[in-house]
C-alpha cells in the first residue's frame, strides 16, 4: 500500500495545478489518471488548438499548457499512476482514506482531490476481435510520442477534430498516411477537412470512406487492415501503425458510489474550501458544481488554490497556515528550488 499526503484523481490541467498548490504548502501528492499520459481531455481532444484565456499567456496550445504545468510541478516530484481508474474510496476511522484502482493499487491518503473533469475517460475502442493485443505496439488510441510514428505507414481512423489534427501533424514525417472515416461527412473543423482534401489532391495522403472489418498478420505482427468501403468492396491496406480516434467515453457515475452528493453529475462543493459532502474529499475543475460554476481552466486553478489551503489545515490542524508569496518567501523558494535576487525589495 502506498501512503501519501494526498491522492489527486485526474491529471488534467486542474489536477496538475493542484499538485503545484499543494507542493507550495509542503504537501506531497500521488496522481491517478485513466489515460496513459497527463493532460486529460484537452490533450485527448484538442492538443494543438490555441487557448486564449489563460492569464498572462495571450495564446498557448493545450499541449503547451500541459507541458508548462508539468515543468512547473517538477520540483514537487509528484508520482503518477497512468491507465488506472479509482474504483473504491473508503474513509478510515482515523480520518484518512483508502483508495483502490482497477489495476489493484492501494493508497492510504490524508485527503483526496477529485479533478477528473467529466469523469474517468477512456478512448472508444475499435471493435475488431483480437486486434486489442497490438495496443501500445502498433495500435494506438492517442499520440504520446510523435517521433514514434515518423517514417511509418499510418492508417488513421476517425472523423473528428483529433483524427484530422493528428493526420495533418503526422503527415509530413510519415512514409504514408491513409485516413478512414465511415462517410465523407466530418465532425472536424472545416479548415482541417479542407487541408486534408488538399493533401489528398496533391497525392500526399489518401482518404477512404468505410470501416475496418478485419486485420492482416505477417509473422504475428499487425501488417494491414481490411476496409469495407461504402460501395461494399473490401480493400486491403498495409500499415505499420494504426491510430484510432473514435472519441472518449466519460464515466462520472462513480461519484455517487463513493457517497458524494452530486448535482448534474458533478460533485457539490463548499466554495470556501471546495470540499464535497464527504469531509476530506475535495473536488476542483469540471468535476464539481456550485451556484455560478463556470467550466473554465482558470476557474479550476482558483479552486485548486483554495482547496490546497483547506487540505493543509486538515492535515496539520495544530499548525497555523500563513499566506506566503512566491516573490518573497525563502521557504517557498526552497521548495521550488530557486534562488531569486531579492535585493531590489530592500
Cα separation, 311 vs 298, in Å, equals 20
Cα separation, 284 vs 273, in Å, equals 10
* Ligand-binding site membership of 32 (annotated): no
* Ligand-binding site membership of 37 (annotated): no
What is the residue whose three cell numbers read 493508497? 107
Classify residue 329 by its DSSP letter: -
Return the C-alpha cell found at 26. 509542503
| 97 alpha-carbon distance from chain centroid | 24
* Ligand-binding site membership of 46 (annotated): yes
Check if the beta carbon of residue 305 is closer than 8 Å to that of residue 25.
Answer: no
* Ligand-binding site membership of 86 (annotated): yes
Cα separation, 146 vs 154, in Å, equals 12
Cα separation, 88 vs 32, in Å, equals 13
Check if the beta carbon of residue 181 is closer than 8 Å to that of residue 195.
Answer: no
Please name the residues in contact with 55: beta carbons below 8 A apart, sequence gap of 6 or more.
298
Return the C-alpha cell found at 342. 531579492
Q: What share of the chain is helix, strand, coil (3-state, %, to 5)?
A: 30, 30, 40
301: part of which helix (H) or strand (E)? helix 297-315
Alpha helices in 182-296 (DSSP H): 190-201, 254-257
* Ligand-binding site membership of 215 (annotated): no
90: part of which helix (H) or strand (E)? strand 86-91
Torsion sign (Cα): 252, 258, 260, 261: positive
Q: Name the binding residues.
A: 14, 33, 41, 46, 86, 121, 286, 327
Q: Name the binding residues for FAD.
A: 14, 33, 41, 46, 86, 121, 286, 327
Amino acid at each position: 500500500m502506498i501512503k501519501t499526503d494526498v491522492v489527486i484523481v485526474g491529471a488534467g490541467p486542474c489536477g496538475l495545478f493542484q499538485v503545484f498548490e499543494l507542493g507550495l504548502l509542503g504537501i506531497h501528492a500521488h496522481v491517478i489518471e485513466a489515460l496513459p499520459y497527463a493532460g486529460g481531455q484537452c490533450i485527448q481532444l484538442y492538443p494543438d488548438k490555441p487557448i486564449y484565456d489563460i492569464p498572462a499567456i495571450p495564446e498557448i496550445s493545450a499541449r503547451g499548457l500541459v507541458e508548462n504545468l508539468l515543468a512547473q510541478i517538477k520540483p514537487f516530484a509528484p508520482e503518477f499512476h497512468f491507465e488506472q481508474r479509482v474504483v473504491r474510496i473508503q474513509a478510515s476511522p482515523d480520518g484518512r482514506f483508502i483508495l483502490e484502482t482497477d489495476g489493484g493499487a492501494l493508497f492510504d491518503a490524508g485527503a483526496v482531490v477529485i479533478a477528473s473533469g467529466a469523469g474517468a475517460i477512456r478512448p472508444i475502442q475499435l471493435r475488431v476481435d483480437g486486434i486489442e493485443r497490438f495496443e501500445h505496439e502498433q495500435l494506438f488510441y492517442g499520440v504520446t510520442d510523435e517521433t514514434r510514428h515518423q517514417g511509418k505507414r499510418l492508417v488513421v481512423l476517425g472523423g473528428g477534430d483529433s483524427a484530422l489534427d493528428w493526420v495533418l501533424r503526422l503527415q509530413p514525417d510519415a512514409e504514408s498516411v491513409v485516413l478512414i472515416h465511415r462517410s465523407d461527412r466530418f465532425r472536424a473543423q472545416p479548415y482541417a477537412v479542407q487541408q486534408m482534401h488538399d493533401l489528398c489532391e496533391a497525392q500526399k495522403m489518401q482518404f477512404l470512406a468505410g470501416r475496418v472489418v478485419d486485420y492482416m498478420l505477417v509473422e504475428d505482427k499487425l501488417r494491414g487492415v481490411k476496409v469495407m468501403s461504402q460501395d461494399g468492396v473490401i480493400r486491403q491496406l498495409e500499415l505499420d501503425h494504426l491510430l484510432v480516434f473514435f472519441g472518449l467515453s466519460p464515466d462520472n457515475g462513480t461519484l455517487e458510489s463513493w457517497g458524494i452528493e452530486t448535482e448534474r453529475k458533478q460533485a457539490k462543493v463548499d466554495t470556501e474550501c471546495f470540499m464535497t459532502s464527504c469531509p476530506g474529499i475535495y473536488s476542483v475543475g469540471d468535476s464539481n458544481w456550485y451556484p455560478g460554476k463556470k467550466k473554465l481552466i482558470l476557474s479550476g486553478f482558483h479552486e485548486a488554490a483554495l482547496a490546497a489551503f483547506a487540505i493543509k489545515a486538515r492535515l496539520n490542524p495544530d499548525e497555523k497556515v500563513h499566506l506566503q508569496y512566491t516573490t518573497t518567501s525563502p521557504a517557498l523558494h526552497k521548495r521550488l528550488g530557486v534562488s531569486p535576487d531579492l535585493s531590489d525589495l530592500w
